[in-house]
Amino acid sequence: MIKGIEIKNFRGVSEGKIDDFDNLNIFVGKNNCGKSTVLDALAILISPKKLTMIVERRGWYGLDSVKSIFRYRNMENPIEIIGNGIQVKIKRSGYSIEERTIGDRMILLTVSYLKNGKMEYEYNVKFNPDERNIGSLPYKDGKEEPDIIILDHNIIHGVGLGEAYSKVFDKGFEAHQELLDVINQVYPDVIDIRLFSEKIGPEVIYKTGKVPIYAMGDGFKSAYITLAFLSGIENGYILCEEPENYQHPSSRDLVVKGICEAAKNNQIFISTHSLEFIDVLLSNVNNINVKFFSLELDQNSGKLSYYSFDSQSAIFRRKELEADLRR
């Protein structure tokens, strides 16, 4: 379990430290307070190989996307992400002969992974405007990294329904049944979800017939894909960016129940702008340790600060939360 994180020179944060993470962690605060940056930093701390994904996650704008992960786009100041005795450093490497030939059309980053002050591995990632990441040097073949999934708009809307269905069954029938049990808490009329035809894709089965998932509402479809990812990980880490997006009330409830189920066996970090999402979450977190972190980022100094509170306090701080979330 990640207990805390320290961030230096990453995106808009010059420095910041958050302590005492719990099982289910909710980041709240007004726009541009650092919620997404903290999620990105956690992803890199847990799995440095996610760097390429993090660089591209907010859209690809050529080499500027690479520069933008550094504070003020200044690649002379290395990024440092620290937590649980692990330190990840990201810096621009010295120019190679090849790079000098093509000038500023390529960026080579070196990622160093230290554990308890000792270098575990180091690798390079090369970017150019056309091919994005064009290869990295392998490091420690066979080294196992923790299971981690990052759920954001790109993932939820970039994955096909058939792929999501296969992801569930790759874990076995028990995983499918557990997902169905969650769905039945919100949609009790659903008997099963099965794939009868590759052409049509998965279908939702009712007593009176069946309906292709593609014909269901957008909320149900995105909720199903979210649940498929949540069911595919155990004893790992789940990072969710604004999971309430594009959800109507019933599908939002479904996503919340899936998150609470996944929190029994994983550590979860969520950013949200929705008070309604928090209300539903608080009504479903029995026997789950939840902690809220209200973030604030000084736009001039780049210093990240926060205050934290538990689920019981969140009920009494509802108006305070609403003021932050609506800004």
Which ranges constitute the DSSP H helices of 126-237? Answer: 153-156, 161-170, 173-186, 218-231
Q: Is residue 96 part of a domain?
A: yes
Q: In this structure, how many other beta carbons lie within 10 angstroms of the beta carbon of residue 207? A: 7
pLDDT-based confidence at residue 132 (cuts at 50, 70, 90): low
* Cα(205)–Cα(189) distance, integer angstroms: 9
Per-residue pLDDT tens for 258-310?
Answer: 999 999 999 999 999 888 899 999 999 888 999 999 999 999 999 999 999 98
Per-residue pLDDT tens for 192-202?
Answer: 999 999 889 99
Assigned token pair, 143: 């080294």
Which residue matches tokens 């307070």?
A: 33
* Cα(258)–Cα(231) distance, integer angstroms: 8
Q: Is residue 90 part of a domain?
A: yes
Relative orientation angle of helices 218-231 and 173-186, to the nearest 10 degrees? 140
Q: Is residue 158 part of a domain?
A: no
Q: Is residue 182 part of a domain?
A: no
Assigned token pair, 246: 């594009």
Q: What percent of the chain has pLDDT over 70?
A: 90
Question: Which of these ranges, 52-56, 59-63, 235-239, has the smallest mean pLDDT?
Answer: 59-63
* Cα(182)–Cα(255) distance, integer angstroms: 9
Q: Is residue 296 part of a domain?
A: yes
Q: Is residue 289 part of a domain?
A: yes
- Number of folded domains in the chain? 1
pLDDT score of 200 = 92
Look at residue 131 and tell me whether its pLDDT is greater than 70.
Answer: no
pLDDT score of 48 = 92
The domain in which residue 118 lies consists of 4-152+235-325
Q: Is residue 193 part of a domain?
A: no
Closest CA to 326 of 14, 99, 31, 38: 31
Which H or E element spans position 210? strand 209-212
User: What CATH number does residue 23 fall under?
Assistant: 3.40.50.300
- Per-residue pLDDT, averaged over 57-70, amounts to 90
Question: CA of 220: how far to CAs of 95, 261, 299, in Å?
Answer: 49, 18, 38
Q: Is residue 128 part of a domain?
A: yes
pTM: predicted TM-score of the whole model, two decimal places? 0.90
pLDDT score of 326 = 59
Question: Which of these ranges, 21-25, 80-84, 132-136, 295-299, has the smallest mean pLDDT?
Answer: 132-136
Per-residue pLDDT tens for 175-213?
Answer: 899 899 999 999 999 999 999 998 899 999 999 999 999
